[in-house]
Chain A
């Protein structure tokens, strides 16, 4: 595993801290009002225009079971998935942090709100635990179909 692979972007959703591998994220975007789309799942808030490309927006707060609330400085994380780019709404972007392999617990024996397929593990920071989320596997096939309309 390279050094880059060990770098994570730490962000917060609600009270909880999450982190995703830095390379899985293409860009951090400023907030813009998503254009809502009809008949979508509740965490799919709409679509945005990112430099000419239309990207779907998923509200991680809703998806992770938190209350939805928007504020002007809510950042969007533009992620690359196998099926293309997707924007996720988080509460704040905190920092870029490097976790060693010792710090990462890959199979935590805990039940979380997050489905196991996109859960990488739990990183033990100095004084907090950070949930590591794989943004590429954020949506399963079925969900992705619903979102992309394929």
Chain B
């Protein structure tokens, strides 16, 4: 593919150069040949033609000599002396003419063989003339017998002269023929070289043309690829730019929302600031209240202590009751013993019989009293026990309550303490919240500014996206134009390329749809084809992508073309 590296200009230069060289060679050879032909022609016109003419003259002259001789015989017969003398004179003239011709012949640049032949002819003519002169002289002198004797020699000479003249003529004609042959050779040579040159030119031109065409097709394929890529890129750019636009619009909206949210936030923060100040006041109040509570709790503790003391008195009461209960047991003892006494008295009274009757009554009464005392004592005991129980219960309750109260008041005290500490912490935290809020306010203001800048940049983004979109659309149009240019170029390069591509594209579509046979076929169609196939595929895919209805229709139409046709086209 080193050839492909050579530029078109270079190729054309090479083509033209080689053609010019061939032409030059052709012309040079032709000129050379023509000059030699011209020389030969010069020779022919300058040398051969006069020699021919002289030869003809000689031919005519020797017939004239013969006619003079025959005329002399006729004059002799008719006895016309005057004519005989005229013939004699004429013969001399003819001899002079002969010599003149030969002299002319001497001057001409003719071949040595011709010259030799000419000398032979010259010799024979001299002999012939001599015998003719002798005949005429004898007739003039009036001796016909001598003349007749000489006539046989004359005829003999004439015959010989005729023969050698023919040979001479032959020689001269040979030279002329050589010239003609030379001319013929030149013509044949010119025809052959012209034909060869023509055929070579055609083949070389075809070769250069094909070479260039392939290069063109390769480049065009690349262009097509690139255009396709650009198309894709353009589409993606369009898509992306649309997305960018949309997202920029969304962003803008979001920023607007953010700005409003920020302003709300700002107002909230200032509200928070106010709340913080209120909170600080509240916290201070709470602190005071908690201190009051602490004091109250201390009072409560004191009150609890006094209740505790009162409880101790109640315990004393319980002890007193216990003592009373103990005393009642003494009473009970007394009652018991009295009862026993009454029983014993009854027994004694019974033993006393009738005398003891009154005593028995007394004993009974004592017993009754004792029983009453016992009952009273029991009641008292019960009451005391009840009192004791109640006092104990009360004591327990009070103790529990006081203990609880004490604990509670202690806890409350502690809690108030903790509350106080917490409130102080809260106070500190609220103060830090206040500071933070102030910082936040500043931050929000900064954010607001940033948001405004962002809004501006987003608007410019939107504009840029729109510009990008329109650019992409323009690019798409340009791409289409590029495809048209490509088609035109293909048309320009191949003439029938479009048809070819269509018929091919059907196969390419079939190929792209995964026909194994087609792929095999395409593989077998050779390296030269692969570039074209790539091209065709690209075009097919391009058509698919751009969805050109017309092209698709063409494609469908071309889809009917079978592979054999495709092969033919290939």
Which A residues have a C-beta under 8 Å from some C-beta of B?
2, 4, 7, 9, 22-23, 25-30, 73, 75, 93, 95-96
**Does B350 lie at the interface of the complex (its beta carbon under 8 Å from any beta carbon of A)?**
yes
Residues of B within 8 A of A75 (CB): 340
Whether A7 pairs with B336 at a CB distance below 8 angstroms is: no
Docked pose: A75 CA to B333 CA in angstroms: 12
Interface CB pairs A-B, < 8 A, 23: A2-B353, A4-B350, A4-B351, A4-B353, A9-B347, A22-B346, A22-B347, A22-B350, A23-B347, A23-B350, A25-B347, A26-B347, A27-B344, A27-B347, A28-B340, A28-B343, A28-B347, A30-B340, A73-B332, A73-B333, A93-B339, A95-B367, A96-B367
In chain B, positions 308-340 with a C-beta closer than 8 Å to chain A are 332-333, 336-337, 339-340
**Does B127 lie at the interface of the complex (its beta carbon under 8 Å from any beta carbon of A)?**
no
Contact pattern, B 336-363, Cβ under 8 Å of A = 1, otherwise 0 = 1101100110110011010000000000
Residues of B within 8 A of A4 (CB): 350-351, 353
Docked pose: A28 CA to B336 CA in angstroms: 11
Residues of A within 8 A of B344 (CB): 27-28
Residues of A within 8 A of B343 (CB): 9, 28, 93, 96
**Does B364 lie at the interface of the complex (its beta carbon under 8 Å from any beta carbon of A)?**
yes
Residues of A within 8 A of B351 (CB): 4, 23
Q: How many A-B residue pairs have CB under 8 A?
A: 38
Chain A minimum-CB-distance residue to B363: A96
Contact pattern, B 361-393, Cβ under 8 Å of A = 1, otherwise 0 = 000100100000000000000000000000000
Docked pose: A6 CA to B347 CA in angstroms: 12
CB proximity of A61 to chain B, nearest CB, Å: 19
Residues of B within 8 A of A22 (CB): 346-347, 350
Which bucket holds chain B's interface residue count?
10 to 19
The main secondary structure of chain A at its interface with chain B is strand
Residues of A within 8 A of B336 (CB): 73
Docked pose: A82 CA to B336 CA in angstroms: 30
Residues of B within 8 A of A9 (CB): 343, 346-347
Docked pose: A27 CA to B344 CA in angstroms: 6
Chain B minimum-CB-distance residue to A11: B343
Residues of A within 8 A of B340 (CB): 28-30, 75, 93
Chain B minimum-CB-distance residue to A76: B340
CB proximity of A30 to chain B, nearest CB, Å: 6
Chain B minimum-CB-distance residue to A21: B350
Chain A minimum-CB-distance residue to B352: A4
CB proximity of B373 to chain A, nearest CB, Å: 14
Docked pose: A68 CA to B558 CA in angstroms: 134
Supposing A23-B351, A96-B367 touch, asked if A30 and B337 sit within 8 A by C-beta, the answer is yes
Docked pose: A26 CA to B336 CA in angstroms: 18
Docked pose: A2 CA to B336 CA in angstroms: 29
Apart from the given pairs A7-B350, A30-B340, A93-B340, 4 other A-B contacts in the complex at a CB distance below 8 Å = A9-B343, A27-B347, A73-B336, A93-B339
CB proximity of B20 to chain A, nearest CB, Å: 160
CB proximity of B89 to chain A, nearest CB, Å: 228
Chain B minimum-CB-distance residue to A5: B350
Whether B346 pairs with A96 at a CB distance below 8 angstroms is: yes
Chain A minimum-CB-distance residue to B339: A93
Q: Which of B332, B346, B351, B353 is the most central at the interface, judged by chain A CB atoms within 10 Å of its CB?
A: B346
Residues of B within 8 A of A95 (CB): 367
User: Which 10 residue pairs across A and B have the least CB separation, nearest first?
Assistant: A28-B343, A4-B350, A96-B346, A22-B350, A28-B340, A73-B336, A28-B344, A7-B350, A27-B344, A93-B343
Contact pattern, B 59-80, Cβ under 8 Å of A = 1, otherwise 0 = 0000000000000000000000
Docked pose: A29 CA to B337 CA in angstroms: 9
Residues of B within 8 A of A7 (CB): 346, 350
Q: Which of B343, B344, B364 is the most central at the interface, judged by chain A CB atoms within 10 Å of its CB?
A: B343
Chain B minimum-CB-distance residue to A2: B353
Docked pose: A34 CA to B439 CA in angstroms: 101
Residues of B within 8 A of A26 (CB): 347
Docked pose: A96 CA to B337 CA in angstroms: 16
Residues of B within 8 A of A23 (CB): 347, 350-351
Docked pose: A9 CA to B350 CA in angstroms: 11
Q: Which of B336, B339, B344, B350 is the most central at the interface, judged by chain A CB atoms within 10 Å of its CB?
A: B350
Chain B minimum-CB-distance residue to A95: B367
Residues of B within 8 A of A25 (CB): 347
Picked from B332, B333, B364, the residue with its CB within 8 Å of the CB of A96 is: B364
CB proximity of A122 to chain B, nearest CB, Å: 22
Docked pose: A107 CA to B241 CA in angstroms: 132
Chain A minimum-CB-distance residue to B346: A96
Chain B minimum-CB-distance residue to A77: B343
